[in-house]
Structure 1
Amino acid sequence: MQIKDCLHIAILVSDLERAEHFYGKILGLSQVDRSLNFPGTWYQIGNLQIHLIVDTTIQSQLHNSEKLGRNRHIAFSVTNLDEAKSQLIAHGCEVQMSASGRAALFTIDPDGNVIELNLG
């Protein structure tokens, strides 16, 4: 087997409106059309899609709150890390700089999914 590409990542969310605010407004992802008949929203980042899928029974899977990068997470590249940090803080999001000292930070979406932002 040879994997050619990553097509999408599915993220479970309990409240679609709250998740759309985080991913669409705070992170600024571009929403794309979807034709499926269950609740959710799709976003496009380059060739990759992020699929928000509603599951009202989910519980946060955060295992290490002291070092967010040691939890399951998704990493995105940003052009300006300081701007991203300021925007997250302005929206009341938790921000934790990478413990390794590299140009990266971690934040948490409203359902406890960890997001890494890297300069690059």
Structure 2
Amino acid sequence: MKLNKIHHVAIICSDYKKSKYFYVNILGLKIIKETYRKERDSYKLDLSIDKDYQIELFSFNNPPKRLSYPEATGLRHLAFEVSNINEAVKELNDKGIVTEPIRIDEITGKKFTFFNDPDNLPLEIYEK
């Protein structure tokens, strides 16, 4: 088997309106399609990053909390590439999003930092 690329990333949120605002208005992802699933009383929001990548934002009633600290086994974080990390951090901070100090990846020499989504999912921005 040969994997071609990552098709999508699925995120389950606890507050759909708050998370939709965050991913669309703060991070600037574009809405592809919003679907209300009556039988589950939940939403599925398809969001795009560029033309090749997609995030599926799901809402469910009373989903269990995600462990972030201490770090647990499983998916650690979601990372986004940016062209200029200083500009990206300033834009996030101007929108009220707290970011960690910018660090340098000791292997690649590239700059990166972390921040959290409304459910404390760790998100990373990594300079191109």
TM-score of the alignment, normalized to the shorter chain, above 0.5 = yes
Distance (whole Å) between structure 1 residues aligned to residue 21 and residue 94 of structure 2: 14
Of 88, 92, 96, the residue aligned with 2:92 is 88
Query: Contact 1:16–1:40 at 8 Å: present in 2 too?
Result: no
> Taking structure 2 as the reference length, what is the TM-score of the superposition?
0.78
RMSD: 2.1
CA contact (8 A) 2:34 2:43 kept: no
Change in Cα spacing, 1:98 to 1:81, as seen in structure 2 (3 Å) is closer
**What is residue 49 of structure 2 aligned with on the other side?**
45
User: Deviations along 1:44-69, whole A, 9 cap, x unmatched?
Assistant: 1131110001133231321248xxxx
Report the more deviating stretch, 35-44 or 20-29: 35-44
1:34, CA displacement in angstroms? 4.7
Structure 2 regions of 5+ residues with no counterpart? none
Structure 1: 5+ residue runs without aligned partners? 66-70
- The answer as to 2:87 corresponding to 1:79 is no
**Equivalent residue for 1:59?**
65
Residue 86 of structure 1 deviates from its aligned partner by 1.2
Q: Give the aligned length.
A: 115
Contact 2:81 2:127 in 1 (8 A): yes
Structure 1 position 117 matched with structure 2 position 125:
yes
Please tell me whether the aligned partners of residues 12 and 58 of structure 1 are also in contact (alpha carbons under 8 angstroms). no
State the TM-score, normalizing by the size of structure 1: 0.83
Local SS of the residue matching 2:56 = strand
Q: In the TM superposition, what whole-angstrom CA distance separates every residue of 1:23-60 from its partner, at most 9, and x where no partner exists?
A: 11111111102557341211111311100011332313
Larger gyration radius, structure 1 or structure 2: 2
Q: Decide whether aligned partners of structure 1 residues 6 and 85 sit closer, same or farther in structure 2, where only a CA change above 3 A counts.
A: same
